[in-house]
Amino acid sequence: MSDPLFFESAVGLAGRVRKGDVSALEVAEAFLRRIDEENPRINAFTTITHDLALEGARRCDEAAAAGRSLGSLHGVPVAIKDLGEARAGVRSTYGSSPLRQYVPTETSLFIQRLEDAGAVIVGKTNAPEFGHKGVTDNFVSGPTRNPFDTTRNSGGSSGGAAAAVAAGMVPLAQGTDGGGSVRIPASWCGVYGVKPSFGRIADVTRPNAFLTGSPYSSVGTLARSVGDAALLLSAMAGPHPRDPLSLPESPSPLADIRPDGLRGMRVGFSADLGGFPVDPRVAAVVEGSLGALERAGAVIETVDVRLPADQFDLSLLWSRLMGALYADSLTGLVEEGYDLMGKHIGELTPAFRDMVLSAQRQSALQTREDERLRSAVLDSIEDAFDGFDFLVTPTLAVTAVENRTDGLTTGPTTVGGVTVDPSIGWCLTYPFNFTGHPAASLPAGFIDGLPVGLQLVGRRHDDVGLLAASAAFEQQSPWLFSYPA
């Protein structure tokens, strides 16, 4: 089992295991060794599930030996995020000190679907407390370090997931995206991250079945190739009767990516998404990568995005809506004996605590007013799509920031002299969580050795088209050999 195994595609690895070239147990043992060796340097995993992974791999081998039908992820190591993604019996800290020993008793629907497809769960990946900011750092596990420069952050909130994929610790990782939490770390870690249309992957949340609808928070995937991400996405996708916000089945299989996904497509390019300050070097890298879209057959024009408010005001809107979601989530934990806003309030990250306190003070009518502004964002994005099949922007305004040592790493407070919210304001991602459009971050190039991402946004519910367009870009501008050894 040589090092190339760790950067092999998930599609290829699944094929090798199915053919019997290598056993699922051998693969699991090799990747667990890789994680044990690399995690002290990267800090991507909060919990490594050695016993669970080996048990799952043995079941895969037993199924193959018995001639049973094998799932699409048969024997493939997969990491899951350390937030609400529950796997019964596995510690789930949410990046929160009061929950550092919390162990759920039930398994999330989409995690169960992964295991049903033959995925081998190797551990849980680091995230900021409840995913409240676009970097990964917390008081439980500390910062996740960027494989391209370990003095820098991986991005967040699915930062451990992206770093694990970039460092060859897993071929696939699951993430969630409520403001860019898949796309942000994908950009900083040089991997492909896709947030599907809201509802494409059912998420049964209780006690509130409508929890993830404001803003739209989607389960997503991180991988080193578009085909691998689509494989993971397809294993989790599908509706469920107990998720009233889930979409019907995709009209065509997500893993079957059609060729020529950009041929004749009209793409609208905005360097600033209608008013976000962006480092000119980042904008130049993204603009320079547009040639790959053209070589794939796309017609590119500049699009004028007219957002209804200043970017700083929109970041505050996102914080208010997320604060309400968090406040609702915490009431469910109180029922399990974890009163985070009571006796544990002093243990919380100050920015997260303040988001929840602010939400608790806000009236229902004020939240409805926020939804009106959110509606105006939706209208502005739909106006921008008029005449276009896809939109393209930088994923982020800056490259990866330096890590702090106190658990309080954030993004920048200014970009080009313009004030931005340090939690999310430097991310051109969260407007599409207001709207629910499918969106992905693709590796576009480097600045001083640090990755830069291009954000590709599809029309609502056109996940198949987004994956096909992403694959067409990848074919013209491959990035698979860019990862540090």
Annotated active-site positions, please? Answer: 81, 157, 181
In sequence order, which ranges of 20-172 are alpha helices (DSSP H)? Answer: 24-42, 50-65, 109-116, 159-166
C-alpha to C-alpha distance for 75 and 438, rounded to whole angstroms: 28
Measured distance between the N- and C-terminal CA atoms of the chain, rounded to whole angstroms: 16
244: alpha, beta or left? (left if phi > 0; alpha if psi -120 to 50) = alpha
SS3 384: helix
Residue 279, classed as helix, strand or coil, is coil
The partner residues of 193 in beta bridges, in order of sequence, read 222, 441
Buried b / exposed e over 107-132, threshold 16 CB at 10 Å, is: bbbbbebbbebbbbbbbbbbbbbbbb
What is the Cα–Cα distance from 462 to 31, expressed in whole angstroms? 34
Question: Quick one: residue 20, left, alpha or beta (phi over 0 = left, psi -120 to 50 = alpha)?
Answer: left
Residue 82 vs residues 44, 56, 173, 179: alpha-carbon distances, Å: 10, 19, 11, 17
> At which residue do the structure tokens 């605590």 appear?
353
DSSP state string for 339-353: -TTTTTGGGS-HHHH
- The DSSP bridge partners found for residue 121 are 78
Residues counted in the chain: 485
- 3-class SS at 321? helix
Considering only CA atoms, give the Rg of the chain: 21
CA neighbor of 298 nearest in space, from 256, 267, 343, 339? 267
348, two tokens: 């919380």
Distance CA 280, CA 21 (A): 48
